[in-house]
A = this chain, B = another copy of it.
């Protein structure tokens, strides 16, 4: 509640002196006064008013974290533990850098940029942006931006933009290969919705490549399953699939643990045994894959590392030490658990 002025009056010095003490500029204040001001600061429980600070050109100390939910339905963004974990870790990293986190979910680029300029936000973290939105942002944003899990062509990348993602192609290639090695030939691919973009698209490509490399047939019309976003619709649809079309497969690859577990439960309800009747794989290695029985064979990504790297590079850019384009693809790890087994001959 106390302002610099009030503290200054209390001690009997000028506001500048107080400001200097606050910023620890010992060389500009005599030790004696420094001590007295410091005490007054503690006594009055002085907290600097951020708006004053921002106005006098000193950075807002805010990192905006924007959750894009144009891709997935809102329900999933709230429920999918990947986003939740990510937000938790981002908050941790931002706080550790003595910045503040403003969280915003937004479907539109303009909205996000308005937020940023209204608050003179120093850096932006954008989760799950579509490639076309990312392009727009790169063109107009005035501050460093870090994208997480967005596919941006290198040509578009600029110095102040950071892109942290995963080796989605490779991850999905490997897990598909693993299924093929187990003897599976009829493998279906299941994802959110009918048009794949970004992360899911890369995973799909990895899957198809693995199939092609093994000389296996894959019919994009028949063997690709686009699941509804809405949980009830999805369950109905999965039930139908379980009763008919899924019967001709021995393994199913899902683009996320969330979807895989969801489907596995519906399959169980329809008297499938996993993995005896059907092998199932997920992607993420989050809490769902561990809590499920059988535990899910999946692809691990290190969410904490993702958050840490993102904020680390963002901070570098903010402090102008960034020297090159940052486009990181973190490696993945195949986690073999209980939801897959070798095909019996």
List residues of chain A with CB under 8 Å of any chain B CB.
1, 47-55, 60, 74, 77-79, 81, 83-85, 87-89, 91-92, 95, 100-105, 114-115, 117-120, 142, 261-262, 265, 268, 287-288, 291-293
Excluding A50-B54, A103-B103, 16 further A-B contacts by CB distance (< 8 Å) are A1-B142, A48-B118, A49-B118, A50-B51, A50-B119, A51-B53, A51-B120, A55-B55, A74-B92, A77-B88, A91-B104, A91-B105, A95-B104, A102-B103, A261-B291, A262-B291
Q: Which of these, B51, B79, B292, contacts A60 with CB under 8 Å?
A: B51
Q: Is the interface of A mostly helix, strand, loop or mixed?
A: helix
List the B side residues contacting A102 at CB < 8 Å: 100-103
User: Copy number in this complex?
Assistant: 2
Given A78-B84, A78-B89, A95-B105, verify A51-B54 contact (CB < 8 Å). Answer: yes
CA distance A293 to B105 in the complex (A): 33
List the B side residues contacting A92 at CB < 8 Å: 74, 105
Q: Which of these, B78, B88, B293, contacts A78 with CB under 8 Å?
A: B88
Determine how close the nearest CB of chain B comes to the CB of A321; give it in whole angstroms. 25
Determine how close the nearest CB of chain B comes to the CB of A121; give it in whole angstroms. 10
Nearest chain B residue, comparing its CB with the CB of A1 = B117
Determine how close the nearest CB of chain B comes to the CB of A224; give it in whole angstroms. 24
List the B side residues contacting A79 at CB < 8 Å: 81, 84-85, 287
Listed by A's residue number, 30 A-B pairs whose Cβ atoms lie within 8 Å are A1-B142, A47-B114, A49-B117, A49-B118, A50-B54, A50-B119, A51-B52, A51-B60, A51-B119, A74-B92, A77-B88, A78-B85, A78-B88, A79-B84, A79-B85, A81-B81, A84-B87, A84-B88, A87-B87, A92-B105, A100-B104, A100-B115, A100-B119, A101-B102, A102-B102, A261-B291, A265-B291, A265-B293, A268-B293, A291-B291
CA distance A1 to B95 in the complex (A): 27
Nearest chain B residue, comparing its CB with the CB of A64 = B100
Nearest chain B residue, comparing its CB with the CB of A261 = B291
CA distance A291 to B263 in the complex (A): 10
CA distance A101 to B52 in the complex (A): 20
CA distance A292 to B101 in the complex (A): 34
Nearest first, the 3 closest Cβ-Cβ pairs linking A and B are A84-B84, A78-B88, A51-B54
List the B side residues contacting A115 at CB < 8 Å: 100
CA distance A49 to B288 in the complex (A): 43
Determine how close the nearest CB of chain B comes to the CB of A284; give it in whole angstroms. 13
List the B side residues contacting A120 at CB < 8 Å: 49-51
Determine how close the nearest CB of chain B comes to the CB of A13; give it in whole angstroms. 23
List the B side residues contacting A101 at CB < 8 Å: 102-104
List the B side residues contacting A1 at CB < 8 Å: 117, 142
List the B side residues contacting A261 at CB < 8 Å: 291
CA distance A95 to B74 in the complex (A): 14
List the B side residues contacting A91 at CB < 8 Å: 103-105
List the B side residues contacting A291 at CB < 8 Å: 261-262, 265, 288, 291-292
Determine how close the nearest CB of chain B comes to the CB of A15; give it in whole angstroms. 16
